[in-house]
Amino acid sequence: MLSGHQYPQMAYYRGTLKNPNQYFGPYPNSNAVRDSIQVLQKVFMLRTCEDSVFEHRDRPCLLYQIKRCTAPCVGHISEEDYCDSVRQAATFLNGKTDELTRTLQHKMQTAAANLQFEEAARYRDQIQALGIIQSNQFIDSKNPNNPNDIDLLALAVSDGLVCVHWVSIRGGRHVGDKSFFPDTKNDPEPNGQDYAEAFVAQHYLGKSKPDIIISNFPVPDALKEALEGEHGKQMQFVTKTIGERKVWLKMAEQNAQMAITQRHLQQSNQQHRIDELAKILGMNSDGINRLECFDISHTQGEATIASCVVYDEQTSNPRNTAATTSPPPNPATTTPPCAKC
């Protein structure tokens, strides 16, 4: 996200879209967002600090010293120059890297012609950084007819599991992908089409949308109309493709099948471990639904604390932490507050 401030902030954001901020995504996971912010900070030197910090600075922070920020908080860059960097970052996030590279090359040549070699070197470094990023994006469209923002959705169903593999392409380049597994535990024979339609509704309604969605399953007309109504313009929903788009969809289908295979292997390995543990404990493995492991530590008999690691069918378990203010008299027999992981 790029905020709508006088000196916009670049930040990680999850929630409803609000004006006048600029939003980019969606990204496959939080790590992808943080990686993008780190790259943009190196290349365009935009601020990432909160408003409470920005408004009360009287000297540049460490990020300015290591050339990760231009210190707009203390006026080390003009509003015009900073906004120019913001526009360049927005161009990059919209997938228009070729256009951005041409702009930077022109500025580099102009600066060099005016004997402003330090400024020219800065533009050169930005171009090189963008080149490294582009080389790491394995989908690269050379077709001028593919300038749009495209999402690929590949559905796969196998042995009670449903997977929808999502691939995001912006400006002809791959920017992220992720496999989603709907909960089919209570559905022994899941209908993949139903789960795929539910995924499209949950993934796109109320969120940013691409111009084109290519999928190996049909999207209902009512859902198309709802998505286009939010998008504000017509979207393309494609199920039959040719050329490189067909190759992209085939890659997404292969990734969906591989993700299901890996999930089956993971589940079988987990069940095998549970069976082996049940043998050691002399229990029936069917009766083991949840495991809680505790580790209690203390410092010379004081400040006792414990951690609890939970294993069950959930994909995640919220972390709750608590600390004791008075040490228990006997760490071996007293259960202190726990940090649950």
Instruction: Give me the CATH topology for the region 150-265.
Output: Nucleotidyltransferase; domain 5 (3.30.420)
How far apart are alpha carbons 8 and 2 in whole angstroms? Answer: 6
Residue 137's pLDDT is 47
Kindly report the number of other CB atoms within 10 A of residue 332's CB atom: 9
Mean pLDDT of 72-86: 89
Query: Which among 219, 247, 138, 177 has a CA at the least distance from the CA of 27?
Result: 177
Domain boundaries defined on the chain: 30-135, 150-265, 291-340
Whether pLDDT at 142 is above 70: no
Whether pLDDT at 325 is above 50: no
Kindly report the number of other CB atoms within 10 A of residue 151's CB atom: 22
Residue 112's pLDDT is 84
Mean pLDDT of 175-204: 90
Whether pLDDT at 341 is above 70: no
Most confident of the following: 84-88, 143-147, 298-302, 321-325: 84-88
How far apart are alpha carbons 57 and 233 in whole angstroms? Answer: 43
- For residue 259, give Cα distances in angstroms to 118, 165, 216: 48, 8, 16
pLDDT in tens, 210-223: 889 999 999 999 99
Mean pLDDT over each residue of the chain, to the nearest integer = 80
Residue 194's pLDDT is 94
How far apart are alpha carbons 211 and 206 in whole angstroms? Answer: 15
User: Which pTM was predicted?
Assistant: 0.51
- Confidence class for position 132, pLDDT limits 50, 70, 90: low
